[in-house]
Structure 1
Amino acid sequence: MISLSGLNTRMGLQLVDATRDRQIEMIRNSAEDRRAIEAFKERIDGVFSVDQLMEDRELYVFTMKAFGLEDQIFGKAMVEKILKSDPDDPKSLVNRLTDPRFREMHEVMGFVDEGKNNLNTFSTSWQNDMVDRYVEQRFENAQAEQNDKIGTVLEFRRKAGEINNWFDVLKDAEISEFMRTALGVPASVAGLDIDKQAELFAAKFDIAKLKDPAELESLERRYVAITDAKAGVQSSANAALALMNAAVATGAGGQFTPITLDISAITGFRSGGY
């Protein structure tokens, strides 16, 4: 992975974007990840039940990593119960968990009939989508390990298109933190009743604007500028730019063009009482 050492969030994110394709290719070609991908594609089409998935350690670990659940691999018994849950039963385990990653895994994996059958594993297009999901998550994790704010931005980019209301935001800790920061909402608001939180957010920003790429870019720029300002980072733009140009030159070549942030725009949203 490309080192982000010494760079603030803004410069680090620019470097990540400039080297993204190279890093994705590096992940696909690394010995560990290449073996994991090959094993998944070779054996997943023979998995029709949750029990079969659980019996194959490599496929289970691959699946967990693909959904950003690497930190939950130890909870195998719980994951088995989640995948066997009935999504139409509001009392089922998958519907009682607050972590949206589990619900997403349940939906995408496609196990039905209490985990006895599967709708997806035989599909080549689904397999390819799972590999892409795995690689993307590995890329995102690698950046977040170096700079958690960059990781949050990348997660926001990935999930923004799936957000339809403020409750979709509030059920996700990372996205909630992103929106609170970008909109200037105090962290203390997280302790309020969820309906009150949704009301306060709605007064600050029309959630429908997340369908507008220009609004997404504006929120991202605000988040990055505010987090860097809070961190008190005063890195040298010239030194960072030289580093980025060197990184790009070792890849596809060319010159990196810096993006100027309008820091004054941070105050663009009207303030509210909390």
Structure 2
Amino acid sequence: MNFQPVLPLSGYPGWLFLNRTLETQQTAHDNTQQIKRETAYFEKNIGRIQTAEALVQDRTLLKVALGAFGLDDDIGNKFFIRKVLEDGTLERSALSNRLADKRYFEFSKAFGFGDFSTPNTQLSDFGARIAEAYKERQFEVAVGDQDENMRLALGAQRELDALTKRDISDNAMWFTVMGNAPLRNVFETALGLPSSFGSLDLDKQLEVFRDRAERQFGAKNIAQFADPEKQEELVRNFLIRADIQNQNISILGGQTALALLESASAIRPFR
């Protein structure tokens, strides 16, 4: 891919710059020859695909399909992906329901091979919707090639925008966060949770997530992150704490981290 995002700064100041220039940079990315070629091919040809087997045999279609859900690394795992798609999502025994990473569930649900007699690939707007998701995700990948934390922050915003619109319980939302590795990373880092946290019982993890969220953001529920200001606060905490971890700063009594968080709170994002 020829596109390289402009990221002159790292950390939270870099995030503010990226947000200020996001629309322009996303457009430049979407207009690269590779992205235009891949998405045009997908939109033109996905309608002829009626089985999971047919999808995994077409590498370009599969690349866009997986990339739209952040599953790019599975491009070579054809048998596994076919199984995820053919099992669907309706049965508890379906592979996507047994995997901890719920991106596979969303992927299988979106295509509908195992859930319906006629898959969603036959819908008139399906190709365009998946192509748009692919563009967004691939821009995040390009950003991540320069700064992985920026990629995680962009992904967190996208995931939270979608998650907070779903008609599910708060516990289900938290379990969705816990089952999405990149989003979970953002929350764990922003909430100052140790690397050993994931070894706890799931119900205990849920309790800790909710308590820490209330302490730092004022409420226990995920729905609060529908508010752009709360999202920004989450991202700011994530980026500052990630910088501290990456630089191995020795923090005496947490005073340095607290000072950084307090000073950052005075910075207003570009609008």
Whole-angstrom distance in 1 between the partners of 2:31 and 2:262: 43
Is the alpha carbon distance of 1:196 and 1:60 closer, same or farther for their aligned partners in structure 2, counting shifts above 3 Å? Answer: same
Q: CA deviation at 1:233?
A: 9.9
* Bigger CA radius of gyration: 1
Whether the 8 Å contact between 2:46 and 2:61 is mirrored in structure 1 is yes
- In structure 1, stretches of 5+ residues that fail to align are 235-260, 268-274
Is the alpha carbon distance of 1:212 and 1:265 closer, same or farther for their aligned partners in structure 2, counting shifts above 3 Å? Answer: farther
Match of 2:241 in 1: 226
Is the alpha carbon distance of 1:54 and 1:231 closer, same or farther for their aligned partners in structure 2, counting shifts above 3 Å? Answer: closer
Match of 1:39 in 2: 41
Matched residue type, 1:32: Q
Whole-angstrom distance in 1 between the partners of 2:49 and 2:113: 10
Whether the 8 Å contact between 2:88 and 2:108 is mirrored in structure 1 is no
Q: CA deviation at 1:60?
A: 1.4
Whole-angstrom distance in 1 between the partners of 2:13 and 2:233: 16
Alignment map for 1:129-208 (pairs within 5 Å): 129-161=129-161, 162=163, 164=170, 165-205=173-213, 206-207=220-221, 208=223
Q: CA deviation at 1:130?
A: 0.9
Whether the 8 Å contact between 1:2 and 1:23 is mirrored in structure 2 is yes
Whole-angstrom distance in 1 between the partners of 2:128 and 2:81: 23
Match of 1:2 in 2: 5
Residue-pair matches, total: 238
> Is 1:14 the equivalent of 2:16?
yes
Matched residue type, 2:146: Q
Cα RMSD (Å): 2.5
For the residue of structure 1 that corresponds to 2:26, the secondary structure is helix
Match of 1:272 in 2: none
- In structure 2, stretches of 5+ residues that fail to align are 165-169, 214-219, 250-258, 266-271
Match of 1:94 in 2: 96
Whole-angstrom distance in 1 between the partners of 2:185 and 2:61: 32
Whether the 8 Å contact between 1:10 and 1:225 is mirrored in structure 2 is yes
Whether the 8 Å contact between 2:56 and 2:81 is mirrored in structure 1 is no
Higher relative contact order (CA 8 A, sep 6+): 1
Whether the 8 Å contact between 1:10 and 1:228 is mirrored in structure 2 is no
Whole-angstrom distance in 2 between the partners of 1:156 and 1:47: 31
Q: What are the Cα deviations for residues 110-156 of structure 1, in whole angstroms up to 9, with x where unaligned?
A: 2246x8631x2233322221111010000011111211111111111
* Percent of aligned positions that are identical: 28
> Is 1:210 the equivalent of 2:225?
yes
Whether the 8 Å contact between 2:88 and 2:113 is mirrored in structure 1 is no
Is the alpha carbon distance of 1:229 and 1:51 closer, same or farther for their aligned partners in structure 2, counting shifts above 3 Å? Answer: closer
